[in-house]
Amino acid sequence: MINTGFLTMISVVLTFTNTAYVSASKRYNEPIKPIPIDKEYDKQKVELGKKLFFDPRLSKSGWLSCNSCHNLAMGGDDNLPSSIGHQWQLGPINSPTVLNAKFNLAQFWDGRAKDLQEQAAGPIANPGEMASSHQLAVATLQSIPNYRSLFEQAYGVTKITINEVTDAIAKFEETLVTPDSRFDKWLLGNEKAITQLEKEGYELFKAKGCVSCHNGVGVGGNTYQKFGLVKTYPKDVENLGRYNVTKKEADKYVFKVPLLRNIELTAPYFHDGSVWSLHEAVNVMAEYQLGVKLSTPETEKIVAFLKTLTGKQPRITYPVLPPESPETPKPNRS
């Protein structure tokens, strides 16, 4: 005997599936990929790295931390054209977001750091940023009993080196991903996760050529490109980009393509932080990189699509930092 109630239930499920979801395999070949959720990490190293990320004692003044320029409450950057460093020095370039930075092929706009660990070492010793030295930063941590204990538990060392310090910071930063954006949900089969306008924006994003550089999990971050590919960009002629690393003439004004994940949260835009409006940023990219002029409706649709890339922000509990000891070097504001 056929169970009509069971058949009705199957019909409802199939109807729901057909209207709200499609097979994720149908979108497997899309050039943008959803952020994978990775819960396999060393919790001791991550927790230690979080303390270090927020600890201003890694700076000479005892005032600046990694979070100063990569504020996790503000999209992982500082929302300034360029960051403020030691003695109110203005940095030469816009601070990129730390969120999803693990998906970059290299770190910094010019790619001079091969990974997050190498990047973490840079600002500590940069005289225009945290203005300390690796030796002083390590001595500061070594002078704090609780830090010595935490490093021994996480790394099995009694003498801290800059290698453990930067590795721990990198381990924490690797957890700073933003999955479950509405666009990711659409990629995974939820047909109702984005609107028709946003779908049209994505189609334009592909058709106009934006996706040739902004693709993959990070929606960027995996290639270097010249800024001003089809038309010379006039606002910043001082920063030579990748040329500073390679000294190759062809690498002048070449920069790492930025991630577009959470792009609505990370104004101002571009390496020079010259544009505050996402609409304007889209139009500049179309003009200088693609050689096309977008209509107002086209720009609106692409911006609407870009806002679907905002994912679930990391929930960070502000860490309680270990107290210093009488031997801890004193802050120096000079």
Q: Does the annotation mark 298 as catalytic?
A: no
What distance in Å separates the CA atoms of residue 27 and residue 34, rounded to the nearest whole number?
10
Dihedral Cα 40, 42, 46, 48, nearest 10 deg = 170
Taking a C-beta distance cutoff of 8 angstroms, is the pair 32, 187 a contact? yes
In degrees rounded to 5, what are phi and psi of residue 219? 55, 50
Q: Which residues are registered as beta bridge partners of 71?
A: 77
What distance in Å separates the CA atoms of residue 287 and residue 266, rounded to the nearest whole number?
21
What distance in Å separates the CA atoms of residue 266 and residue 178, rounded to the nearest whole number?
14
Start-to-end Cα distance in the chain: 88
Instruction: Supply the Cα-derived Rg of the chain in whole angstroms.
Output: 23
One of 47, 129, 174, 280 is an active-site residue; which one?
Answer: 129
- Residues annotated as catalytic are 129
